């Protein structure tokens, strides 16, 4: 029993110190205020899209309403072999909005390919005319100041990469709201760790980087592009890039290896990108399996250490709860790590949720503490194995 309690306490202390570290980092990030300035940077928005007929027009309409000078930004939609009307809707939008630079690139699926999103982004960057590349997803929405806030941050910092804030919106069910609270924590962890010089998490739905920085690290691949197998198909990645997920974290780690001081987090309400939570548990599990697929290739040793410690802590919390049901001996030793975890998480989430104006989600904090250990342990056990569905594709 003694060694088990020792491990439980050790993982709890590691986790608490880590969340405190991220909280300090979050507080150290200045909130960007909008200022009047003359933009001088050309921007290319790259949107990989597959079967997004329900979302793509809302996304493009938000981009058409941006207050950034129309002559200084372009939007490139890369249709990743959609089987619905995504391409047709984009073409119709382009025909109507001739005063803006919107383009469509269509990719055909390459047999046995595993790098779908990376291929789409790489192709978009290959065609991009802007100096600053900004990636997002087709199911996202933005404020009219989104591009301006990113460009302003770039011109101030000259950062090689800028990670931006992402938030769920229009949550209706308790299930969606619980996801939203968890997601705020993940965004805060990514932001705080970046500010403190550790590069663990970023989100490809709101990511900007200098085009030269992308090419300096050879994009998503360590080898030169491979020839396209047939006309209309695109295969820029060799074997080391042959993982469908990880376009965000992989690239951040590669850029960080050459530009340690040149990655920043943009803490601006104008820069928030809004997306949607998953509607069902099945969809959530598929998403988490996709995220877990990044771990073998696209995370640092420190990230693996923290993830392992967090997982072990949540296993310990479940074990402690079960032990206390049958035997109250050592109850304070078992309860204190859990209490410490809750305390630091609440402080951290209070600050992060205040920035996103989502404080109401904190009403779910205590229920989440009961559910979350079981969620972490189950998802962590099944996510790394087998295949997952992504955009109606089965990926190993």
* Per-domain residue ranges of the chain: 1-30+174-198+300-387, 31-164+202-277
pLDDT band at 114 (very low <50, low <70, confident <90, very high): low
In this model, does residue 89 exceed pLDDT 60? yes
For 184-199, what is each residue's pLDDT tens digit? 999 999 999 999 999 9
Would you call 349 exposed, middle or buried from its count of C-beta atoms within 10 A (0-12, 13-18, 19+)?
A: buried
Buried b (16+ CB within 10 A) or exposed e, 254-284: bbbeebeebbbbbbbbbbbbbbbbbeeeeeb
Rounded CA-CA distance 388/21 in Å is 33
Give the rounded percent of residues in the chain with a pLDDT score beyond 70. 85
Q: What is the pLDDT of residue 388?
A: 59
Q: What is the pLDDT of residue 389?
A: 63
Note whether 55 and 27 are within 8 A (CB): no
Question: Mean of the pLDDT values across residues 89-97?
Answer: 95
In this model, does residue 220 exceed pLDDT 60? yes
Lowest mean pLDDT, pick from 13-17, 236-240, 310-314? 236-240
In this model, does residue 348 exceed pLDDT 70? yes
Higher per-residue pLDDT: 155 or 259: 155
Question: Mean of the pLDDT values across residues 110-139?
Answer: 86
Beta bridge partners of 76: 46, 103
pLDDT band at 223 (very low <50, low <70, confident <90, very high): very low
pLDDT band at 392 (very low <50, low <70, confident <90, very high): low
Q: Which residue in this structure is represented by tokens 């078992």?
A: 334
Beta bridge partners of 265: 163
Q: What is the pLDDT of residue 232?
A: 40
Quote the mean pLDDT of the chain.
Answer: 86
pLDDT band at 113 (very low <50, low <70, confident <90, very high): low
Question: Mean of the pLDDT values across residues 262-274?
Answer: 95
Lowest mean pLDDT, pick from 6-20, 171-185, 317-331? 317-331
Looking at 3.40.50.300, 3.40.50.10540, 3.90.550.10, 3.40.50.1260, the CATH number of the domain 31-164+202-277 comes to 3.90.550.10
In this model, does residue 230 exceed pLDDT 60? no
């Amino acid at each position: 029993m003694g060694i088990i309690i020792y491990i439980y306490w050790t993982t709890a202390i590691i986790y608490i110190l880590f969340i405190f570290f991220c909280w300090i980092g979050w507080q150290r990030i200045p909130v960007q205020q909008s200022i009047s300035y003359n933009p001088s940077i050309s921007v290319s928005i790259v949107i990989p899209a597959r079967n997004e007929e329900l979302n793509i027009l809302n996304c493009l309409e938000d981009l058409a309403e941006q207050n950034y000078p129309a002559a200084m930004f372009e939007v490139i939609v890369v249709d990743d072999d959609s089987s619905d009307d995504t391409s047709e809707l984009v073409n119709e939008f382009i025909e109507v909005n001739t005063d803006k630079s919107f383009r469509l690139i269509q990719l055909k699926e390459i047999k046995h390919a595993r790098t779908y999103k990376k291929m789409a982004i790489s192709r978009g960057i290959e065609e991009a005319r802007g100096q600053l590349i900004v990636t997002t997803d087709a199911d996202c929405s933005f404020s009219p100041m989104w591009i301006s806030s990113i460009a302003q941050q770039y011109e101030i910092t000259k950062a090689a990469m800028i990670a931006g804030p992402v938030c769920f919106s229009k949550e209706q069910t308790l299930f969606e709201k619980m996801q939203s609270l968890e997601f705020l924590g993940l965004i805060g962890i990514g932001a705080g760790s970046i500010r403190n010089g550790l590069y663990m998490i970023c989100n490809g739905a709101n990511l900007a980087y200098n085009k030269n920085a992308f090419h300096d690290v050879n994009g998503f691949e360590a080898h030169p592009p491979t020839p396209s197998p047939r006309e209309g198909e695109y295969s820029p990645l060799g074997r080391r890039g042959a993982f469908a997920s990880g376009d965000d974290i992989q690239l951040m780690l590669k850029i960080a290896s050459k530009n340690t001081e040149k990655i920043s987090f943009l803490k601006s309400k104008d820069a928030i990108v809004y997306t949607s939570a998953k509607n069902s548990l099945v969809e959530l599990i598929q998403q988490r399996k996709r995220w877990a697929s990044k771990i073998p290739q696209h995370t640092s040793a420190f990230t693996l250490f923290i993830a392992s410690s967090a997982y072990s802590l949540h296993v310990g919390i479940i074990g402690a709860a079960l032990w206390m049901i049958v035997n109250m001996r050592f109850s304070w030793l078992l309860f204190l790590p859990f209490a410490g975890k809750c305390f630091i998480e609440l402080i951290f989430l209070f600050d992060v949720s205040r920035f996103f104006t989502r404080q109401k989600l904190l009403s779910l904090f205590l229920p989440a503490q009961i559910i979350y250990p079981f969620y972490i342990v189950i998802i962590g056990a099944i996510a790394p194995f087998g295949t997952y569905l992504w955009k109606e594709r089965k990926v190993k």
